[in-house]
Chain A
Amino acid sequence: MPVKVEVKNLTKIFGRNPKAILEKVKQGMSKEKILEDTGHTVGIRNASFQVEEGEVFVIMGLSGSGKSTLIRCLNLLNKPTAGEIYVDGDNILEYDKKQLKKFRQEKVAMVFQHFGLLSHRTVIGNVEYGLEVKKIPKNERCEIAKKAIANAGLAGWENKMPNELSGGMQQRVGLARALANDPDILLMDEPFSALDPLIRRDMQYELMELQSRLKKTIIFITHDINEAFKIGDRVAVMKDGVIEQIGTPEELLASPESEYIENFVKDIDRSKVLQAKHVMFKPTVLVSIKEGLKAAMMEMKSNGISSVFVVDSEKRLQGIVTIDDTIKAIKENKTLREILKHDYYTTDCEAFLQDLIPKATDTKYPLAVIDEDGKLLGLISRVSVLSALV
C-alpha cells in the first residue's frame, strides 16, 4: 500500500514566540521546565509516522498527551512550529492560502468530539455545508447530502435541528457531513468519546463496516485502549507530546516498549485483541487420506495421541479419526474415509479468542483453523484458548 500521509519530526509549541523555544525542545528540556522558564507549552515533540492508504491509524493517549493537537496539525487547524507533513507526496506546510483551502475542501474532512454541528442549521444544512463552501450548485449538493444522510441511517431526519437529535445521531450527522465531501482522509478527533457506552459500541461497529466498504485513510484519536485496539490497524501511543510506540495491537500487546504502554495494555481485555492466528500452532501430526488406516494408527501410536486430523493431498481438512474407530475399522476391513468424524469445530484465522471460548469448552478435540478453501492452517488446543486469557 502506498503511503498517504507522512509526518516528519513534527513539533508544536504554544506561546508567544514558539520558534525561540525550538532549540530548547531539541536539546530535550522537559515540558515542565520549559513551561516554568518561558511560559510556553510543548504540544508535540518531534513526532514522526506514516499512514498507508486505506489504513485505520489510531493515535491513543490520555488527555493532555497532545493527540488532539497532533490531529489538528494534519489539516493545519494548528500550524506546526517545525517539521514536515506530506500528503500524497506534497508538503502541505508549503501550501498557500488557496491551495490550503482546496486541500481542506477536497482531501480531508474532520469529525469532532462534540460533533461541531452548526446549531442554527438543519441536519441537511449541516451535511451540505462542506459542499456549499466548495460552491457546488444547490440541487446537486442537496442530492449528495440526502444520500450521505441515508447512508448514515438518518433518512427522514433531514429537516430536524441538531438539538432535536440524540448524541449518537448527532455524531452520525457529523460523519455524514464529513463523508458527503468524499475526502481521501478522514480525521476523527475522539468522535465517540461523548457517547454512552452502548451507542459507542454500535458506532465503532458501523465505522468498521463503513470502512470495509469505503477504504478511506482514517486517522482516529481516542483515549480508550479497547477502542484503539478494536478499530486500529496500527496504533500510536502518545505521552506528553511524544509518540512512545507505534505498532499493530498485537505488537503493542506482545512487546510494550515502556512501562507506560505496559500499564495501558494491562487494562485491555486480551480475548478481544488476540485472534486465532496468534495462538494456533502448526499441526505436527497429520494423516493424508490416501495413507490409510494403518498409517493413521502408527501416527497416533508414535505420538501418544488418541485422535488425528485427516487431510487430502492439498492439505484440505477432511475430518478426524479416533484410535478406537481406527482399530475397529482395521478389524472390519473398512476404509479411512468411512470412519471420518466431523464433530470438531473449525474457525478462520481472524476470529477473536473471545468468540472461541464457548467452542473450546464444548469440544474434546482441538479447534481446526482453516482458510476459505478449507485448507488446514493450524490447530488451537483447548488449553491455549483458555490460557491465553491470563
Chain B
Amino acid sequence: MAAGQLSLQLPYMNNFPEFLTFNLGVYVEKFVKWLDINFGDFFEAVSNAILWLMIHIEDLLLWLPWWLVVIVVLIMGWRFSSVIAGIVFSLMLVLVGTFGYWDYMMYTLAIVLASVIISLIFGIPIGILMAYSSYVQALMRPVLDFMQTMPSFVYLIPAMLLFGLGKVPAVFATTVYAIPPVIRLTDLGIRQVSKEMVEAAISFGSGSWDVLTKVQLPQALPAIMAGINQTTMMALSMVVIASMIGAKGLGMEVLIAINRIEIGRGFEAGLGIVIIAIIMDRISQGIANRFKIPG
C-alpha cells in the first residue's frame, strides 16, 4: 500500500527517467562510417590481402584430391593421437563427402585456416608485447575481454560496412572473434618462464632477441600451442555466424536449412561442422602435446 503510494508520487522510482538518454549507437555508427570514408584505401588494401590469402588457401584445398586429404588425416590422427583415432577421423571425413558436402567443407576450412593464420601473425607479436610491457597488458586486457564477451553477431555489421559482403568480412569477423586466446596464452606463456632461466640467459650475455627466441618462446611454446588450439575452435564456431554475410560453406547450408526449416539438411551440415571441429581439435591438441617440455 505504502509502496504503491510512493510510486504514484515519484514515477522516476519505477521507470528509468526518460530525460537520461545517451545514444552511443549513433556515435559508433558515425565512427564506422568515418573510418570507411577516410580510410577507404586502407581497408581496400586489407581486403585485397585477405582475399588473396583466402583464394589461395581455397584453391589449394579444392585442388587436393579427396583421397589424399583422407589419407593425410589418417596419418596425422595416427601420429598425433592413435591408430584408431586416425581411422575414425578419416571415416568421418568420408561421411561428410557422402552428404555431398566435400566442397562446402573445404570452403569452411579455408575461412578457418585463413583466420587462424592471420590470428597468429598478429596475435603472437601482440602477446609478446603484452608480456614485455605491463602497460600494453593493462591496455589490451579490457580490449580482449570486450572482444570475447561481445556477441559474435555484432562483429558482422562493421565487417560488412568496411568490407562488403562475402568471404573477406567473414574472415575479418572470424579473426576478431578468434584472436584473443592466442594473444592471452602467448602473454601468459612468456610471463610464466622461470625468472632464473631468463637471468641465466642474460648472465651469459644474451641480447634480448636471444632471450626471446632461445629461452622465452621455446618455453612458452606449449602455452602458445594451447592458444592456437583454442583459436582454431573459436574460428570454427564463428563460421556459421559468418555465413550470414555471405560466406559460402557448411555454415551457409545450416543457415539455409534454418530459414527453410529443412531438418535433414541442417543436421547433415551441422554434423559436418562437428566432424571438422573434432578432427582439428584432436590433431592440434596432439601437436601441442608434442611440444610439452618434460619436467
Please indicate the chain B residues that have their CB under 8 angstroms from the CB of A72 in the complex.
199
Contact of A101 among B196, B200, B207, B294 (CB under 8 A): B207
Closest residue on chain A to residue B219 by CB atoms: A120
Please indicate the chain A residues that have their CB under 8 angstroms from the CB of B214 in the complex.
118, 129, 132
B interface size (C-beta, 8 A):
21
Of A105-113, A139-147, A249-257, the one with at least 4 CB within 8 A of chain B = A105-113
Q: Is the CB of B204 within 8 A of A163?
A: no
Please indicate the chain A residues that have their CB under 8 angstroms from the CB of B200 in the complex.
110, 112, 116-118
Report Cα–Cα, A134/B205, bound state, in Å.
Answer: 8
B257 within 8 A of A: no
B82 within 8 A of A: no
B295 within 8 A of A: yes
A130 within 8 A of B: yes
State whether A118 and B294 are in contact (beta carbons under 8 Å apart), knowing that A104-B204, A134-B205 are contacts in the complex.
Answer: no
A interface size (C-beta, 8 A):
34
B231-267 vs A: 1/0 string, CB under 8 Å?
Answer: 0000000000000000000000000000000000000
Q: Is the CB of B201 within 8 A of A112?
A: no
Instruction: For residue A74, give the distance in angstroms from its CB to the closest CB of chain B.
Output: 10
Q: Is the CB of A161 within 8 A of B294?
A: yes
A77 within 8 A of B: yes
Instruction: For residue A5, give the distance in angstroms from its CB to the closest CB of chain B.
Output: 15
A384 within 8 A of B: no
Please indicate the chain A residues that have their CB under 8 angstroms from the CB of B197 in the complex.
116-119
A129-166 vs B: 1/0 string, CB under 8 Å?
Answer: 11011100000000000000000000000000111100
Q: Is the CB of B201 within 8 A of A129?
A: yes
Contact of B203 among A109, A114, A163 (CB under 8 A): A109
Instruction: For residue A321, give the distance in angstroms from its CB to the closest CB of chain B.
Output: 62
A346 within 8 A of B: no
B29 within 8 A of A: no
Please indicate the chain B residues that have their CB under 8 angstroms from the CB of A102 in the complex.
205
Q: Is the CB of A163 within 8 A of B294?
A: yes
Report Cα–Cα, A162/B221, bound state, in Å.
Answer: 18
Contact of A181 among B201, B202, B204, B215 (CB under 8 A): B204
Q: Is the CB of A112 within 8 A of B196?
A: yes
Report Cα–Cα, A187/B204, bound state, in Å.
Answer: 12
Q: Is the CB of B210 within 8 A of A133?
A: yes
A residues 21-79 touching B (CB-CB < 8 Å): 72, 75, 77
B218 within 8 A of A: yes
Closest residue on chain B to residue A108 by CB atoms: B203
B residues 188-235 touching A (CB-CB < 8 Å): 194, 196-197, 199-207, 210, 214-215, 218-219, 221
Please indicate the chain A residues that have their CB under 8 angstroms from the CB of B20 in the complex.
none
B293 within 8 A of A: yes
Q: Is the CB of A129 within 8 A of B204?
A: yes
Please indicate the chain B residues that have their CB under 8 angstroms from the CB of A112 in the complex.
196, 199-200
A residues 85-134 touching B (CB-CB < 8 Å): 100-106, 108-110, 112-120, 129-130, 132-134
Report Cα–Cα, A114/B194, bound state, in Å.
Answer: 10
Instruction: For residue B209, give the distance in angstroms from its CB to the closest CB of chain A.
Output: 11
Report Cα–Cα, A367/B200, bound state, in Å.
Answer: 50
Instruction: For residue B154, give the distance in angstroms from its CB to the closest CB of chain A.
Output: 41
Instruction: For residue B294, give the distance in angstroms from its CB to the closest CB of chain A.
Output: 5
B272-295 vs A: 1/0 string, CB under 8 Å?
Answer: 000000000000000000000111
State whether A105 and B202 are in contact (beta carbons under 8 Å apart), knowing that A117-B197, A133-B210 are contacts in the complex.
Answer: no
Q: Is the CB of B203 within 8 A of A161?
A: no
Considering residues B197, B210, B218, B221, which has the most beta carbons from chain A within 10 angstroms of its beta carbon?
A: B197
Closest residue on chain B to residue A129 by CB atoms: B204
Instruction: For residue B134, give the distance in angstroms from its CB to the closest CB of chain A.
Output: 13
Closest residue on chain A to residue B198 by CB atoms: A116
Instruction: For residue B214, give the distance in angstroms from its CB to the closest CB of chain A.
Output: 8
